Amino acid sequence: MAHQNDHNFNGSSVVPPREPVVVVMLPFPIQGHFSAVVHLSRLLSARGIPVHFVSTAVTIQQIAQRVQGDGNNLSTSNPIQFHDLGIHSFPSPPPVPNASNKLPVQLASTFEGVVNFHQPLAKLLTSLSSTARRVLVVHDCFMAFALEKASSAANIHNLEVYCFSPFPIFTDLYVSWELLGRPNWPSFDYLKEYSHHLTLDGCLLDGFFEKFMVPQVELSAQMSSGYIYNSCRPLEGKFIDILLSLPPFQEGNATLWCLGPLVGRLQLTADSSPLIAEGGTSQKSSELSLMSRHKCLEWLDTQPQNSVLYVAFGTATTLTEEDINQLARGLESSQHRFIWVFREADRSDVIDANNEIRRIGLPVGFEKRVTEGGMGMIVRDWAPQVEILAHPSTGGYLTHSGWNSVVESLGMGVPMAVWPMHSDHPTNAVLVTEVLKVGVFVQEWANRNDIVSSTVIENAVRKLMDSDEGKEMRKRAEELSVALRKSVLAEEGMSSTEELDLFIKHISR
């Protein structure tokens, strides 16, 4: 029998109070999906909305270790209540570095297993529905099966559902356009400009799209009163307008809420002086860092402005030995300072101490040469990504182009060299390079089966960090950062903060 444990940041059990509305967050339990949802939870909680975050014990521990440790204190006067749904049975095999498709196949069991959330979730929803006028569920687009089963079992009359997309609107529009057979609709004319760069081929495992994604997208459309995106007008204004022109929104059957940027919001202020915490508390960056300042930030303190390339590929990408060797040689040949987060991809259970970690190696002598010479730093543990990107010494980001990473990078005004690996990365990379023009390709998706040589990597790094074109990318990234900060600080019409206020007013009506 699945069990349920309730936690908050004070470590005590909490009985949900009688409230006009409570929000239940139902993220997909992998880092790239739940990270932004944690920060949305924090924003709502700071504004007095009771938030119940439901997931596995592993995910909750992951959040405590990773999200709290990035300088963004999640504690508020109205603590988020974390519910362990008692699901502990996901197998956790190691990543497969030499697979023909770079998708994180080690997480396949998670996709299959989350449907088992429905029984304990139904119990929680039933309990909350008796203490609140309205129970609002914000679910990941990959959690529709579990939610539909849970809501049917619970038979709750006061349930309202919103779908949270972990992808940009540009990517969701393109996928929808492909599913519909690329119809010749005026709304999609803007997408056609980039269609020669775009394809779903190779992004997903054969059969996965039809079996897992499409049915959940269709089910989400049936259940949801609206959609929430980690985006905003400065990033995707044109695509927001396209989405709003489509029937569900035109006919009033769905609402759209663009509440981003969610991660890194604490650092997004009008200048680099005091950081404005959610809820209006002012804190100096040095005070935030006193809790546990990572050694890489101290190294960055000693580097010139915009001189360091940050290299990281997220939590779900596994590089082959050849990839690693070519990347190491390319970085060294570029003669640019860098921080490389050199970690194995996450498994389903990232907390299990018994998991054998693949000892991925670097070329012989590489680490000694670059570290002793002061050129680079290798980070093998969890890195404070937002703080690295926010540091004035960081001038570029070599990334897989996962959406959280893209938003964080642009929030801090850092241009990108993009090397897409799987899932939404290829379309995100087109958004970065072709639409926003704040990045350069390391490898375009059409050439994904080719080995990326050290020379190609070196040239991409030099183009990003040295060239006039790279300087223009940095200028545009910095301009976007200013626009995002204004959006967070509600300094212009329809900012993300105003959207958040309207969302809270809507769900509390």
Q: What is the pTM of this model?
A: 0.87
Contact predicate 319/313, CB 8 Å: yes
Q: Does residue 139 carry a catalytic annotation?
A: no
Q: Does residue 301 carry a catalytic annotation?
A: no
**224-241 confidence digits (pLDDT tens):** 999 999 999 999 999 999
Q: Which of 33, 39, 118, 422 is catalytic?
A: 33
Residues 6+ apart with CB under 8 A from 155: none
Phi, psi of 284, rounded to the nearest 5 degrees: -75, 145
Q: Which of 52, 70, 118, 140 is catalytic?
A: 140
Rounded-to-integer distance, Cα 326 and Cα 320, Å: 10
Sheet holding 337-341, edge to edge: 376-379, 337-341, 308-312, 394-399, 416-418, 439-441
pLDDT by residue for the chain (509 residues), tens only, comes to 333 445 443 334 455 446 789 999 999 888 888 899 999 999 999 999 999 999 988 888 888 877 743 334 445 557 899 999 886 656 656 666 666 667 666 566 677 777 778 889 999 999 999 989 999 999 998 899 989 999 888 888 899 999 999 999 999 998 888 777 788 877 778 777 787 777 777 776 566 656 777 788 788 888 999 999 999 999 999 999 999 998 888 888 899 999 999 987 767 753 433 222 333 333 333 334 444 689 999 999 999 999 999 999 987 788 889 999 999 999 999 999 999 999 876 555 555 555 555 566 899 999 999 999 999 999 988 899 999 999 999 999 999 999 999 999 999 999 999 999 988 999 999 999 999 999 999 999 989 889 999 999 999 999 999 999 999 999 999 999 999 999 988 766 668 989 999 999 999 98
3-state secondary structure of 362: coil
Contact predicate 174/60, CB 8 Å: no
**406-453 confidence digits (pLDDT tens):** 999 999 999 999 999 988 999 999 999 999 999 999 999 989 889 999
Relative to beta strand 132-140, strand 81-84 is: unpaired
